[in-house]
């Protein structure tokens, strides 16, 4: 099944986001070998050159490592993975808080709504 990619944003950026999400969620495990560029491109229904560009950028970040004859692997550096997870979580929290504040909610009200929501979901 082809990946759902938005034509409004650069495809390679969305590929990076998707692979990063897979890494930090555990879909791709530390040290795991990634499928080949061609396999991933076929799965995502994108040009192999676009996939290559995205994977090269992921190598630059250190989340993906290339082994000359063996292919690409997810980093085994769990500290780096956890750091990226924390960075992305904080970014999403910031966006959420900005939306809540634009609705006129103060931090205490936001916190109360979050606790209320969690209790309802646990019930």
Tens-binned pLDDT, residue by residue, of the chain (123 aa): 678 999 899 999 999 999 999 999 999 999 999 999 999 999 999 999 999 999 999 999 999 999 988 999 999 999 999 999 999 999 999 999 999 999 999 999 999 999 999 999 998
Q: What is the CA radius of gyration of the chain?
A: 18
**CA–CA dist 32, 35 (Å, integer):** 10
Report the pLDDT value the prediction gives residue 22, as an integer from 0 to 100: 94
Using an 8 Å Cβ cutoff, are 49 and 11 in contact? no
Largest Cα separation within the chain, whole Å, is 56
Q: According to the model, what pLDDT value does residue 37 have?
A: 94
pLDDT for 68: 85
Which of 69, 67, 61, 68 has the alpha carbon at shortest distance from 23?
61
């Amino acid at each position: 099944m082809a990946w759902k990619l938005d034509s409004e944003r650069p495809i390679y950026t969305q590929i990076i986001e998707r692979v990063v999400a897979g890494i930090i969620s555990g879909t791709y495990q530390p040290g795991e070998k990634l499928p080949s560029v061609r396999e991933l491109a076929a799965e995502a229904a994108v040009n192999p050159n676009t996939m290559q560009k995205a994977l090269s950028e992921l190598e630059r970040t250190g989340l993906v490592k290339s082994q000359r004859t063996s292919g690409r692997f997810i980093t085994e550096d769990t500290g780096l993975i956890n750091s990226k997870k924390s960075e992305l979580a904080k970014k999403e929290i910031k966006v959420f808080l900005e939306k809540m504040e634009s609705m006129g909610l103060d931090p205490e009200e936001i916190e109360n709504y979050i606790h209320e929501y969690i209790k309802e979901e646990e019930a």
